[in-house]
Amino acid sequence: MSYTVKDVQRLRLSTGAGMMDCKKALEENGGEVEAAKQWLREKGLAASAKRDDRDNAQGVIALIVETARASIVKLKCETDFVASSDGFKEAANLLAQAVLEKGIDGVADRSTQIDDLKIVLKENIEVGEAVQFVAAAGNILDSYSHIQGGRGVNGVIVEMSNATPELAHDIAVHIAFARPRYLSRQDVPADVIEKERETLETITRNEGKPEQAVAKIVEGRINGFFKDVCLLEQPYAKDDKMSIEQLIGKSQVVRFAQVEIG
């Protein structure tokens, strides 16, 4: 199997080995990258700290919203210094544009550029979540991006029907800070509910509650769980006397996506 200069660069990036050693490894293993990695390791030529294994909890959230479509992407790196650099933020924006146009397939279109960025910046850089929304006719798309240190770190896009842009934006801001995991309790998987119920039963019994009261107490706590994780049941961030469901009235939240750094 043949190999390219890019294969050598990627092997060097992931192992920390020298360029000539990477070429030799690929030659000895017919261009098979995983076999080449093992060969380098056996020869003692791979760096002890492989870049691919290093923590990359920093990065940028890039978000684009148009009238009928939107995208949100996380580009991850190791340090906030790199995350705040103009080149890195531009790469995230170009990635978001690719996802806006092609959906998840847009990530593959930018893979070579991301690999080049790894080599230039010498960090473990990779794409995290990537989401594209294409709104149904008549629906509203809006967003919120929380900026920290000159870069997006918390982004939300929301699609609503029978709503104003102002309401959709308010919901996006709420989502950014309340972090719901689901739209409604009907969207919570049965296994998630069952696991939470089991945990709450254990907690309740450990508190020494009377056995005959356990079921009722657990049911009340399950309702509290739904208020924590389901958007429509959450208290509105700007007025906790009303729920999101009460706030939106006859409007509907069709779907939402939230992507964060960390």
pLDDT tens, the chain, 262 aa long: 578 888 888 887 777 777 788 888 898 888 888 888 888 877 766 554 455 666 788 999 999 999 999 999 999 999 999 999 999 999 999 999 999 999 999 998 998 888 888 878 888 899 999 999 999 999 999 999 999 989 999 999 999 999 999 999 999 999 999 999 999 999 999 999 999 999 999 999 888 889 999 999 999 999 999 999 999 999 999 999 999 999 999 999 999 999 999 7
Q: Which residues of 170-180 are buried (b: 16+ CB within 10 A; e: fewer)?
A: bbbbbbbebeb
Q: In the prediction, which pLDDT does 48 show?
A: 44
Tokens linked to 3: 């190999």
Question: What is the model's pLDDT at position 4?
Answer: 85
Rounded to whole angstroms, the Cα distance separating 257 from 259 reads 7
Tell me the Ramachandran region of residue 137: left when phi exceeds 0, alpha when psi lies from -120 to 50, beta otherwise: beta
- Architecture per CATH, domain 58-184+232-260, reads as 2-Layer Sandwich (3.30)
Instruction: For 5-53, give the CATH class.
Output: mainly alpha
In the structure encoding, which two tokens stand for residue 54, read together?
Answer: 């290093």
Element holding 71 (H helix, E strand): strand 69-77
Q: How far apart are the first and last CA of the chain?
A: 40
Where along the chain do its domains lie? 5-53, 58-184+232-260, 189-229
Find the DSSP H helices in the chain.
5-15, 19-28, 33-42, 80-83, 86-102, 105-109, 111-121, 165-178, 190-206, 211-229, 244-248
CATH of domain 189-229: 1.10.286
* Three-state DSSP class for residue 202: helix
pTM, rounded to two decimals: 0.79
Do the two domains 58-184+232-260 and 189-229 of this chain adopt the same fold? Answer: no
